[in-house]
Amino acid sequence: MQSSQPSLFARPDTFLGVCEAIGQDFGFHPNYLRILLGGSLLLSPVIVLSTYLALGALVLLSHRLFPARPASVARCAGAQESELRAENDEVVIDFAAAA
């Protein structure tokens, strides 16, 4: 059963989805960026909000120019590559190590 996920910007639990998108793209938890931006917001709100909006525009532009492949397409491509490799490669037998 496939569940459809709404757009990152249309989800109800994010403001614009900027921290979540950057966290997913660079492989870290988005709460670290949220804490950094929240703490900086107390010092200079204008700079932080303008930086947040600029990052949002950059994330939107990058996701429009380079869309992520759906997981099903990536799995199918990976399976085809492994089948091609299996047909063309030599037979390698791995023996289990003696206990």
Contact assessment for residue 63 and residue 21, using Cβ atoms and an 8 Å cutoff: yes
Please give the single-letter amino acid code of residue 4. S
Burial of 21 (0-12, 13-18, 19+ CB in 10 A): buried
- Amino acid 13: pLDDT: 63
Q: What distance in Å separates the CA atoms of residue 79 and residue 82, rounded to the nearest whole number?
A: 5
- Taking the chain (99 residues) in consecutive chunks of 10 residues, what is each chunk's mean pLDDT? 61 74 88 91 93 91 82 56 56 60
- Amino acid 9: pLDDT: 59
Tokens of 34: 């949220």
- Amino acid 46: pLDDT: 95
Determine if residue 82 is left, alpha or beta; phi over 0 gives left, psi from -120 to 50 gives alpha, anything else beta: alpha
Q: What distance in Å separates the CA atoms of residue 93 and residue 82, rounded to the nearest whole number?
A: 17
pTM: 0.56
Q: What distance in Å separates the CA atoms of residue 33 and residue 26, rounded to the nearest whole number?
A: 11
- Amino acid 89: pLDDT: 58
